[in-house]
């Protein structure tokens, strides 16, 4: 396919889009090596037909990402993903604490956007208490 794409005049960076994966990078140098017939056995591999290339391009679907890039290092206790990990949605669509309420944690039904200014000091206090 790469040879057919090259024959069609596609740029290396455009060809890379179809073949790069996290576990299998195809860099521009490899594509140039295929173009010149010096990469591996690329000289002996036949070029796909224009029809085969058209078929490949027509059904190509970019793969789903296998993960989300996150910054390295510990996350803040206020990170939405950390806070969300403590909740689950029940069959009625209501968010509940996963391990239930206790004398140190509770979930308020009426705690909505209007009261969200209280979440920051509460979360900071919670994070501080958890560390001590």
- The residues, any chain, with a CB within 8 Å of residue 31's CB and separated by 6 or more, are 2, 6, 12, 15, 16
Q: Do 12 and 29 touch, CB atoms closer than 8 A?
A: no
- The whole-number pLDDT of residue 128 equals 52
pLDDT tier for residue 67 given thresholds of 50, 70 and 90: low
Choice between 79 and 111, residue whose per-residue pLDDT is larger: 79
pTM given for the model: 0.47
Measuring CA to CA, how many Å separate 12 from each of 4, 62, 90?
12, 17, 50
Q: Which two tokens stand for residue 23?
A: 């576990």
State whether residue 1 is helix, strand or coil. coil
pLDDT in tens, 22-43: 777 788 899 999 999 999 899 9
Q: Is the pLDDT of residue 112 over 80?
A: no
């Amino acid at each position: 396919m790469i040879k057919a794409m090259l024959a069609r005049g596609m740029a290396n960076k455009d060809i890379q889009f179809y073949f790069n994966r996290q576990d299998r990078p195809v860099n521009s140098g490899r594509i140039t090596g295929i173009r010149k017939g010096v990469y591996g056995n690329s000289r002996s591999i036949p070029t796909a037909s224009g029809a085969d290339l058209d078929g490949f391009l027509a059904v190509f679907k970019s793969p789903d990402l296998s993960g989300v890039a996150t910054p390295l290092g510990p996350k803040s206790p206020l990170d939405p993903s950390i806070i969300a990990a403590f909740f689950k949605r029940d069959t009625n669509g209501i968010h509940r604490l996963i391990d239930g309420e206790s004398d140190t944690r509770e979930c308020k039904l009426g705690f909505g956007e209007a009261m969200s200014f209280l979440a920051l000091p509460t979360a900071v206090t919670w994070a501080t208490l958890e560390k001590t």
